Structure 1
Amino acid sequence: MSMARKLYPLGIQTFERIRTENRFYVDKTEYIYNMVHTDSAYVFLSRPRRFGKSLLVSTLQSYFEGRKELFKGLAMEKLEKEWTEYPVLCFDLSGGKHQEEDQLNRYLDYILKENERRFGIECDAVDANVRLANLISSVYKKTGKQVVVLIDEYDAPLLDVVHQDERLESLRYLMRNFYSPLKQCEPMLRFVFLTGITKFSQLSIFSELNNINNISMDEEYAGICGITEEELLSEMSADIDRLADKLELTREKTIETLKYNYDGYHFTWPSPDIFNPYSLLNCFSKQSIGSYWFGSGTPTFLIEMIRKFGTTPIEIGEREMADVSDFDAPTETMESIVPLLYQSGYITIKDYDKATNLYELGIPNKEIRIGLFKSLLPNYLLRSSQKGKVAIAQMSVLIKNGDIDGALNLLQTFLATVPYCENTKYEGHYQQMLYIIFALLTDYRILVEQRTAKGRTDITMETQDHIYIMELKFGKTADEALAQINANHYADAFAMSDKKIVKVGIGFDVKDERNITEWRVE
């Protein structure tokens, strides 16, 4: 049976275009109606990049401009009775990335000019804050109506320099200046909406706009961005079937594969399961399971911050507990990488413990795990990319077939041909590197230093039918490593499992060969 193919809005963030070109749109207009009919005139929403924030801003613009025809058939059509038109000022700060102070000043000048031109306003002031204040008051006088201000990616100019204190200071001052009129113009404003990834506390926007409502963790708005599991199953049912045909899988297996790769986000608790919209739509469009969100931009600032904090891959890979105040930690005064990893979408809420009021955080899905560890591997190995990909893919197949011996042989050969990043004889360096390599073995659950009743294993890897308990010994023999697994009865923790338990003792030479020298499998 042939199904009419949907047009997906790939790379299109304009509500008007999606609706007039009849492209696929997940109806989020009820959230918008609720948001603009609350007590707050100032609202802030944080979500990771490519999660639909810009589309949300564009939808708000169409709504406040009274473009009723674009909302035909959507929840908003039934909810809104008034359709009052307001003048809307839009500022997209994403164009202000990677800029020095004078460049950023010119960019602010450009986006102010665009808005002045739309409303036929002349202004000869130089300072951005004077221009913005003048723009709001002139539009207010000219139209006789309160003004709506929409700011997309308000933090974009600052994110790339967050690890460079001096540059951050000058750019932050500039942006604080630009945003300052939003407070003094309050009587002339109907609604102010800002999106971003992180929360820069020292920006006047959060210290001066003390009445700003941060809805990022509100249960009511948990599904405002991204595609919920319910939306996937109801509105994209035919897409699932078409993908199942292409992948030659059952519908159930296809849903499971989509969940495993792209689902797993929660921005509060309780929350529906949320899929990464960019990856999901790309997957349906290209009819293939790929690494789309991660492939659309390497998180350079994040890698820099991971270095700055000395955070290890193992720490990122393990589940972590966090207090609610950690999510709100201002980027400039953060004491750990956790808030930034969370806000950027590399870890997400996995559970909540009512008694301690703590959230459990973890990597959302396979796409993020693989993407993140791939971008961390070059910190441990030089020239690791092509050879590494091939070796890891081959190891993966061997482990799937239960051949751990062959996989370790391959790893030994690979490590012998790739130079290490720095001449380190530090055990932790190799443990982190081996952890990344094992974590990249596609579909396996990997645990490091998992606590068991009798001690800790080094690496536990769970595949479909095996549990591998691996002990790494630096400068010692594989027999000593194996003896430790047995002496500490690590395997007892998995006695209830119906999977085959394989113990692997690995000897690693830190001084001369800097490689796996031997292993014993039991």
Structure 2
Amino acid sequence: MVDLMRKLPIGIQTFSDIRTNGYLYVDKTALVWRIANTGKPYFLSRPRRFGKSLLLSTFEAYFEGRKELFTGLAIEQMETEWKKHPILHLDLNAEKYDSPDRLISILSNQLTQWEQIYGKGEDEVTVSSRFLGVIRRANEQTGMGVVVLVDEYDKPLLQSLTDSDLLEEYRKTLKAFYGVLKTADRYLRFVFLTGVTKFSQVSVFSDLNQLNDISMKPQYATICGMTKEELIATFLPELEQLGEANRLTFEETVEKMKALYDGYHFCEFAQGVFNPFSVLNVFDGYKFSNYWFQTGTPTFLVEILKESDYDLRLLLDGIEASVSSFAEYRVNSKNPIPLIYQSGYLTIKEYDERFRNYLLAFPNEEVKYGFINFLVPYYSSIQDNDQDFYIGKFIHELETGDVNSFMTRLEAFFADFPYELNDKTERHYQVVFYLVFKLMGQFTEAEVRSAYGRADAVVKTPKYIYVFEFKLNGSAEQALQQINDKGYLIPYQVDGRELVKVGVNFSAETRNIEKWIIES
């Protein structure tokens, strides 16, 4: 395999570095120019590692008037003046927020750096008054409108979600700090804030009511991430090499990339985009893997799911929701969906224009199976390093018709539960079954249902079709009878494969599978 020697900007978030050091770049500058020249204050919500920092760096280079960095890009034909503006760039991303003073300290440190350039007023004591003073003096000293760029404005809030007192302290600090942007409007040329989550209670979205939230606007849907056309145009040699390394045709390579990393929709009317972090990492080693998911485990999301007692089966199958129920996150709400959507684990898949309802679902296989695998240890006794072993054995046993071994292994998922997991409703045990069959679905045709009138699970292998029905504190005989009475096998009778019925009873007393019956 030939080394292409083309430079991939993995982990590089500075536009000038990419352009001066010859890294590959997906040209987003036409959208950058449009945003910069059609409005002033903007907000954009996107998941982590989706290119938000690079986008802000691109705005920074543009407003610095660095024309040489944009040679050969779309914006070169659009911009004629290349004016230099004073820029205040605040990055809240790479910090640990664990005390009330921590946020004040970080903001103060950044303000001090700006004050060394533009000076400080004697009566400016709070971070808010100092921020306003810096903006005003930067405008007066340069005669140009000030550009304010804030990267990950919500990082302090996300890190303090489980500490209500600390969260409130941060909320009040940021409310006052971001509120300056409305007061200072006359001195500003451009404002752009990015983050993962839109917190409805923070004043940047209440007091600063002129802020243009472009997170779900179709004309800006592809500003972060890359479209299929951009992927092929920019990375054609890498796609060809990836196919060669994995013995795939070009068409098969693109389809596999789509299945794993495409599918993010940030507007109901816009095309999907690929996750840029995963794409770059695939091309770096020519191996398909869960690159984005592995960089940040959603532990706090799982905790929120557990606290809210949310039915995971709804999450795994896709959720219908109005835009008001997922576009903003309310801290005191029991609804975990906005945070899960905005973090990138769910995306828009369909839109019912008549009722204005959205279908939210996993964007692709990387996120779907990464998320399900991550959930298993929280709902069963199986740990991370055991999951692949168990799922592989499950599939092998069903492919060879060894249902008894499959059921015996399934018992292990319920063995040695901690007490707090045992004292649950019927839903908990249904969720465990659900997770097992969903994980099997990435390797074979496995479906798991929760709707009335359908079998609990169906698994199709080359030789067999299995129909499972589960009961809690009933009997395996009742489960088997329900398969017959409801006609669950009827859709598969002309298939030609051997049909196998499996009735299972789960005992709440023993907290495990009590009995199963197999009937061909």
**TM-score over 0.5 for the alignment?**
yes
**Within-5 A mapping of 1:429-440:** 429-440=428-439
Out of 430-439 and 52-61, give the one that drifted further.
430-439
Instruction: Give the match's secondary structure for 2:93.
Output: helix
Pick which of 28-37 and 185-194 moved more.
28-37
Amino acid at match of 2:455: T
Quote the offset at 1:311 in angstroms. 1.2
Report the count of equivalent residues. Answer: 518
Partner SS state of residue 456, structure 1: coil
Q: How many angstroms apart in 1 are the aligned matches of 2:40 and 2:221? A: 20
Secondary structure at the residue paired with 1:50? coil
Aligned pairs (5 A) from 1:314-333: 314-333=313-332
Q: Which amino acid in the other structure matches residue 506 of structure 1?
A: V
Give structure 1 regions of 4+ aligned residues with deviation exceeding 6 angstroms. 463-466, 495-500
The one-letter amino acid paired with 1:458 is D
Tell me by how many angstroms 1:308 deviates.
Answer: 2.4
In structure 1, runs of 5+ residues without a counterpart are: none
Alignment correspondent of 1:458:
456
Residue 520 (structure 1) aligns with:
518
User: Which string of whole-angstrom CA distances, capped at 9 and with x for unpartnered residues, describes residues 136-192 of structure 1?
Assistant: 011111111110000111111001222433222111001112112111110110000
On the 8 A contact 2:374/2:384 being kept in 1, the answer is no
| 1:173 and 2:172 matched | yes
Task: Report deviation, 1:7.
Answer: 1.3
* Conserved 8 A contact 2:469-2:504: yes
Assess, with a 3 A threshold, how the Cα gap between structure 1 residues 391 and 106 changes in structure 2: closer, same or farther: same
**What is the deviation of 1:381?**
2.5
Partner-residue secondary structure (3-state), 1:331: coil
Answer whether contact 2:120 2:130 (CA < 8 A) is retained.
Answer: no
Query: Could you tell me whether the CA contact under 8 Å between 1:87 and 1:147 is conserved in 2?
Result: yes
Aligned counterpart, 1:490: 488
Amino acid at match of 2:161: V
1:112-511 equivalences in 2 (<5 Å): 112-117=111-116, 119-122=117-120, 125-382=124-381, 384-399=383-398, 404-413=403-412, 415-416=414-415, 422-424=421-423, 426-441=425-440, 442-444=442-444, 447-451=447-451, 455-461=453-459, 468-493=466-491, 502-511=500-509
Q: Tell me, what secondary structure is at the counterpart of 1:193?
A: strand
Distance 1:286 1:144, change over 3 A: same
Mapped partners of 2:391, 2:459: distance in 1? 15
Structure 1 CA distance for aligned equivalents of residues 445 and 213 of structure 2: 35
Runs of 5+ in structure 2 lacking a partner?
none
1:349–1:362: 8 Å Cα contact kept in structure 2?
yes
Q: 2:501–2:519: 8 Å Cα contact kept in structure 1?
A: yes
Aligned-pair distance for 1:258? 1.5
1:28 is the counterpart of 2:28: yes
CA contact (8 A) 2:46 2:215 kept: yes
- Distance verdict in 2 for CA 1:444–1:346, change over 3 Å: farther
Worse overlay, 412-421 or 6-15: 412-421
How far does residue 405 in structure 1 lie from its aligned partner after superposition?
4.9
- Closer, same or farther: CA 424–495 of 1 in aligned 2, 3 Å: same
Normalising by the residue count of structure 2, what TM-score does the alignment of the two structures yield?
0.92
Partner Cα distance (2:120, 2:75) in 1 = 36
Comparing 302-311 with 183-192, greater Cα deviation is found at 302-311
- Give the match for residue 49 of structure 1: 48
Q: Secondary structure at the match of 2:502?
A: strand
Alignment partners' CA distance in 2, 1:501 and 1:71: 63
1:407 shift after superposition: 3.2
Cα distance 1:327–1:509, how it changes in 2: closer, same or farther (>3 A)? closer
C-alpha contact (below 8 Å) 2:437/2:447 kept by paired residues: no
Q: Flag the 1:516–1:54 CA change in 2: closer, same or farther, 3 A.
A: farther
Deviates more, 1:154-163 or 1:182-191: 154-163
Higher alpha-carbon deviation: 484-493 or 364-373 = 484-493
What amino acid sits opposite 2:443 in the alignment? D
Structure 1 residue matching 2:210: 3-state secondary structure: coil
Q: CA shift at 1:115, angstroms?
A: 2.9
Amino acid at match of 2:200: S
Query: Would the aligned equivalents of 1:450 and 1:460 in 2 still touch at CA under 8 Å?
Result: no
CA drift at 1:419: 5.7
CA distance in 2, matches of 1:488, 1:167: 54
d(CA) in 1 for partners of 2:187 and 2:395?
Answer: 61
TM-score, normalising length from structure 1?
0.92
Partner of 2:10: 10
CA distance in 2, matches of 1:337, 1:497: 41
Conserved? CA contact 1:228–1:272, under 8 Å: yes
Deviates more, 1:401-410 or 1:364-373: 401-410
Separation in 1, partners of 2:348, 2:149:
28
The CA distance in 1 between the partners of 2:144 and 2:395, in whole Å, is 63
| Aligned residues of 1:314 and 1:448 also touching (Cα < 8 A) | no
Structure 1 residue aligned with 2:19 = 19
Equivalent position of 2:76 in the other structure = 77
Deviation of the 1:298 alpha carbon = 1.3
Contact kept in structure 1, 2:221 and 2:267, CA below 8 Å: yes
Contact 1:229 1:272 in 2 (8 A): no
1:508 CA displacement: 2.5
Q: How far off its partner does 1:342 sit?
A: 1.0
Correspondence for 1:63: 62
TM-aligned CA distance change 1:513 to 1:61, over 3 Å: closer
CA contact (8 A) 1:425 1:511 kept: no
SS of residue in 1 equivalent to 2:368: helix
The AA in structure 1 aligned to 2:472 is F
